[in-house]
Structure 1
Amino acid sequence: MLPHVLILGGTTEARRLADALHPRVRVTSSLAGRVAAPRLPAGEVRIGGFGGADGMAEWIREHAVGAVIDATHPFAETISFNAARAAATAHVPLLALRRPGWVPGEGDDWREVGSLVEAAEAVRGAGRVFLTTGRMGLAAFAHVDDAHFLVRSVDAPEPPFPPRMEVLLDRGPFTLDGERAVLADHAIDVLVTKDSGGAATAPKLAAAREAGIPVVVVRRPPVPEGVPVATTVDDAVTWAHAQRAQSASG
């Protein structure tokens, strides 16, 4: 029987990881189901939650999972901590795959904050705000009535959301020319983003730098204590095969 690896997340890295492991390894990718038409990875796919850490641990045991790789979005804090608890409960190894965060360069005007709530306070009265933090966090900005928001998301947001809001439905990767056009066409005064890292959405930072637009950056939460971290798909593949070899020898 092929070794079974559970990959958590629908990120670009998660899909690349599934492609790299399948079919030599049995792969099940677990997607949250928050996007209406997700890009499906290679191998098996399950959609929806597990019912917390205990439910995930039970699923791991029932499906003979030998290793778990948390390749969720860097801000998917709840699922990451559930994965850590579930893996410990089910006695299976866990790896976190996290793309490196962004680093400000010369000419950047970044204001780092610790949460979306802090970001909302930072943009009060800021004029026209380009909000690229995803539709799930819009409630944090719902009380801000003295700024106009351009919200970009894959699917249409649901309330609560800011009273003065325009929605731009789009999916990355984005280009520098495209981001320049968005900032100019909508007369953006400030950009708000999470420190997601990666190249797919980074052009907005370069466009903001060129335009002299300040950027409010939400710092990413830490990986659960004790969980090893890989920063590339290749390193995660190496780790998965090492678990396979260790299991076979044991």
Structure 2
Amino acid sequence: MILFLAGTSDARELALKIQKAGYPLLATVVTENAASELKKYGIHVHTGRLDQDGITAFIKEHRITMVVDASHPFAEEASKNAMFGAKEQGVTYIRYERDKKDFYDENLIWTDTYEEAAEQAALKGGVVMLTTGSKTLQIFTDKLLGRSDITLIARMLPRKDNMEKCEKLGFPQKNIVAIQGPFSKEFNQALFQQFHVDVMVTKESGKQGAVDEKVEAALEIGISVVMIRRPKIQYENQYADFEEIVRHISREWRGVHT
């Protein structure tokens, strides 16, 4: 049995490819929405976060022989926990990591942390649109919300917990854009122009995360971009290509099951 860390649209595509190749999967996701998407295709799913001890016990309990980590590039703890659990139980760990594109522009600022991104946005001022999700929202509200020289706009998934978090942080309802992508460059530009955005804050999520369209849309119309780099993690058996992952699984599977 393969333990598959999912949650994104491209992860779902990879899960289906592995399933169609004939390998049994048990997926783990964080949200019910992600779980329902996988269940449509007959994939068994565990919903909920697993810490180091939890994933180690999970691997043992379900007799997992391989871990395929296709979690989001910024799900740092999930990847570290998966690597730890695989190592503890002596099973193979494989990482699917999205390709990334290097952007170069005088209006683009690279940062290594969310805190640094908030500081850079504060220096720029004006209308700041966050496209970094709700998990780290408080880092930006602590630094930017309530300043007379900054209007903070948050674009995030239209989920109840996100709206509750915004309310708890005192985020103005009129400045919340609750919508699910991916979006075209033209749509992004229309949205930026609607809110008269001066600065867009985003993450290096990769082409599959539609970051290219966001960044190109912003830079093309003169909006400054603050880009947060991916966490620096040394992955084992890292691939960006689905076929290479399936081939690796095939090699390992023959070794374990012969």
* TM-score normalised per structure 2: 0.87
- Give distance in 1, aligned partners of 2:140 and 2:169: 6
Question: Cα distance 1:219–1:36, how it changes in 2: closer, same or farther (>3 A)?
Answer: same
Q: Deviations over 1:71-108 (max 9, x none)?
A: 11101111111111110101100011110123115x56
Root-mean-square deviation over aligned CA pairs: 2.0
Q: Deviations over 1:169-192 (max 9, x none)?
A: 111111111111001111000110
**2:108 alignment counterpart:** 110
**2:130 alignment counterpart:** 131
Sequence identity of aligned pairs in percent? 28
C-alpha contact (below 8 Å) 1:139/1:162 kept by paired residues? no
Listed as ranges, the matches of 1:140-179 within 5 Å are 140-143=139-142, 144=144, 145-146=146-147, 147-154=150-157, 155=159, 156-157=162-163, 158-159=165-166, 161=169, 163=171, 166-179=175-188
Corresponding residue to 1:18 among 10, 15, 19: 15
- Give distance in 2, aligned partners of 1:34 and 1:130: 27
**1:100 alignment counterpart:** 99
Listed as ranges, the matches of 1:1-250 within 5 Å are 4-23=1-20, 24-33=22-31, 39-40=37-38, 42=41, 43-50=43-50, 52-105=51-104, 107=105, 109-124=107-122, 126-143=125-142, 144=144, 145-146=146-147, 147-154=150-157, 155=159, 156-157=162-163, 158-159=165-166, 161=169, 163=171, 166-201=175-210, 202-223=212-233, 225=234, 227-249=236-258
Structure 1, 96-105 or 38-47: larger mean CA deviation: 38-47
Q: Secondary structure at the match of 2:231?
A: coil
Q: Secondary structure at the match of 1:180?
A: helix
Counterpart amino acid of residue 23 in structure 2: V
- Give distance in 2, aligned partners of 1:213 and 1:32: 33
* TM-score normalised per structure 1: 0.89
Q: Secondary structure at the match of 2:116?
A: helix
- Give distance in 2, aligned partners of 1:36 and 1:94: 22
Q: What is the CA distance between 1:29 and its match in structure 2?
A: 1.2
Question: Cα distance 1:186–1:9, how it changes in 2: closer, same or farther (>3 A)?
Answer: same
Question: Cα distance 1:148–1:175, how it changes in 2: closer, same or farther (>3 A)?
Answer: same
Gaps of 5+ in 1: none
Q: Secondary structure at the match of 1:191?
A: strand
- Give distance in 2, aligned partners of 1:44 and 1:163: 37
C-alpha contact (below 8 Å) 1:6/1:29 kept by paired residues? yes
C-alpha contact (below 8 Å) 1:117/1:141 kept by paired residues? yes
Q: What is the CA distance between 1:38 and its match in structure 2?
A: 5.8
Higher helix share: 2
Counterpart amino acid of residue 54 in structure 2: G
Structure 1, 194-203 or 109-118: larger mean CA deviation: 194-203
Q: Secondary structure at the match of 2:201?
A: strand
